[in-house]
Amino acid sequence: MAQVDFINDLHQKTKRDYLQRVTKYNKAECAEIAKKLGKDYWDGDRKFGYGGYSYDGRWKPIAKKMAEYYKLCPSSRILDIGCGKGYLLYELKILIPGIEIRGIDFSKYALEFSHEEVRKFLDYGTACKLPYPEHYFDLVISINTLHYLYIYELKEALREIMRVSKKSQYLVVESYKNEVEKSNLLNWQLTCECFYTPEEWEWIFREFGYTGDYSFIYFN
């Protein structure tokens, strides 16, 4: 288990007005709409989520870093849990012709409007019950997805990740190191049910049997 970062450069590029989420809008109402994971969350007003999420190539450098680090090749099998519209999987597919990709997401809207070239490889479902064989994937990825889960569901999801993986795993989860980052996270988040300090996350990983790689994102 190692802390490895692929996405913080992308995360830090986004400008966020943390206070606006709780002073200008009704945060509770926005969160209720966001948690439906429909059009409003993905392609609606920014107060409900992404504020429009279309393909723009942002995942290309991340796919390249992952491919190099995990030594992915045409015979590799990749699973993205919480794949959204499948943009990371698309970049991996283009980067490594022949690679086997699979994605799963709980948002029917995201799957319906996913990247056309990978849509047939995406499934509807949750991280708690993955519809895949044991030890099938060479790399299992989950980026900013596990925060949707309650602690008892998180336990199931981490065990499912280990079950379907035969080699490598990589997770990205929200965290905070101080009260400023904690406040910013609380103000900004719309769909989080679980977020912890780095020390708590690492304890959870050990307690639930997760032995893969991980990275934290912070709201500075």
pLDDT confidence of residue 42: 97
Domain ranges of the chain: 8-217
Is the separation of the CB atoms in 31 and 191 below 8 Å? yes
Percent of the chain with pLDDT over 70: 100
Is the separation of the CB atoms in 96 and 78 below 8 Å? no
Question: Once rounded to an integer, what is the mean pLDDT over residues 43-51?
Answer: 95
Question: Cα separation of 119 and 114, whole Å?
Answer: 6
pLDDT digits (tens, 9 = 90+) for 69-114: 999 999 999 999 999 999 999 999 999 999 999 999 999 999 999 9
| pLDDT(61) > 90 | yes
Phi and psi for 140 in degrees, rounded to 5?
Answer: -115, 125
Question: Cα separation of 23 and 103, whole Å?
Answer: 36
- CATH architecture of residue range(s) 8-217: 3-Layer(aba) Sandwich (3.40)
Task: Identify the band that residue 178 occupies on the pLDDT scale cut at 50, 70 and 90.
Answer: very high
Percent of the chain with pLDDT over 90: 91
Question: Cα separation of 153 and 135, whole Å?
Answer: 21
| pLDDT(44) > 80 | yes
Task: Identify the band that residue 205 occupies on the pLDDT scale cut at 50, 70 and 90.
Answer: very high
pLDDT digits (tens, 9 = 90+) for 10-31: 888 788 888 888 899 999 999 9
